[in-house]
Amino acid sequence: MSAIDSLPPLREVIARHGLSARKSLGQNFLLDLNLTAKIARQAGDLENCDVLEIGPGPGGLTRGLLAEGARHVLAIEKDSRCLPALAEIAEAYPGRLTVIEGDALEIDPLAHLTPPIRVAANLPYNVGTELLVRWLTPRDWPPFWESLTLMFQREVAERIVAQPGSKAYGRLAILAQWRAEARIAMQLPPGAFTPPPKVSSSVVHLTALPEPRFPADPDVLSRVVAAAFNQRRKMLRASLKGVAPDIEDRLIAAGIAPTDRAEQVPLEGFCALARQVATR
């Protein structure tokens, strides 16, 4: 197979820079450049976009994003050992890669990005979930991003795209599907990574909708959904008692049976309930 760029193979880069994977940083690297190019293609047409990449590591996905034509990639990496390898990539793509060393949970990247912006990342799963929730919950919509292309462990990916009536359906599904289109774009076995993690992974692609599917206040919806799924086995009239004293009436007004459980209520129902809770 032909390489996607003129840079050395990633195994060589890793050996030369001593980038042994660290568990504490959730380092499971993708070394197959055909695979990273394929993931980059899932992010959509990058030609006129800035791409925010979190956790580039030795730069496999970064190289994919640049080879697929991203206008500019801003990469945030916590592990300073990776910076020399990333500097070589920046040199091969003059003016198109900026690397910031630091913790993505603490850095505001927006000053360095010009819309339209897409996000792509193969991140440690805990950091990925926390960032996903942040990216999905701004007060104002549309958000700064047009799409998110993110690697998750398969079980988390299934929670993002889950439908009512399934065990995986919960807060993450509702947050993701209320204002975005979410789908699983690729499945990857553990052996795709070096070292291999214990579980399979999935690439999830989310596209921001121009506006929410159903009207609701984001903070009220978040509160209602969190309460409903915190006690997901209880009937809603019990799990939502703390949300409003007359919750039974409000459930009925929203078209939901007070004896239903959270798992049975579709997104539209939760939005209707959030509107009922918001009215006095």
Give the 3-state secondary structure of residue 158.
helix
Length of the chain: 280
Tell me the closest approach of the beta carbon of residue 144 to ligand SAM, in angstroms.
18
Rounded alpha-carbon distances, angstroms, from residue 1 to 4, 34, 171: 9, 8, 42
Which residue ranges make up the annotated binding site for S-adenosyl-L-methionine? 28, 30, 55, 77, 103, 122
Give the C-alpha separation, 223 to 240, whole Å. 10
Cβ burial, residue 175 (10 Å; 0-12/13-18/19+): buried
For ligand SAM, the closer of residues 178 and 193 by Cβ is 193
- Tell me whether strands 117-121 and 180-188 are parallel, antiparallel or unpaired: unpaired
For ligand SAM, the closer of residues 200 and 264 by Cβ is 200
Tell me the closest approach of the beta carbon of residue 54 to ligand SAM, in angstroms.
5
Phi then psi dihedrals of residue 245, to 5 deg: -65, -35
Tell me the closest approach of the beta carbon of residue 143 to ligand SAM, in angstroms.
19
Tell me the closest approach of the beta carbon of residue 150 to ligand SAM, in angstroms.
11
* Cβ atoms of residues 225 and 243 within 8 Å: no
For ligand SAM, the closer of residues 61 and 180 by Cβ is 61
For ligand SAM, the closer of residues 29 and 93 by Cβ is 29
Tell me the closest approach of the beta carbon of residue 62 to ligand SAM, in angstroms.
7
For ligand SAM, the closer of residues 30 and 206 by Cβ is 30
Give the C-alpha separation, 197 to 199, whole Å. 6
Cβ burial, residue 198 (10 Å; 0-12/13-18/19+): exposed
* Cβ atoms of residues 61 and 82 within 8 Å: no
Give the 3-state secondary structure of residue 228.
helix
Q: By the criterion CB under 6 A, which residues form the site for ligand SAM?
A: 25-30, 54-57, 60-61, 76-79, 82, 103-105, 122-124, 127
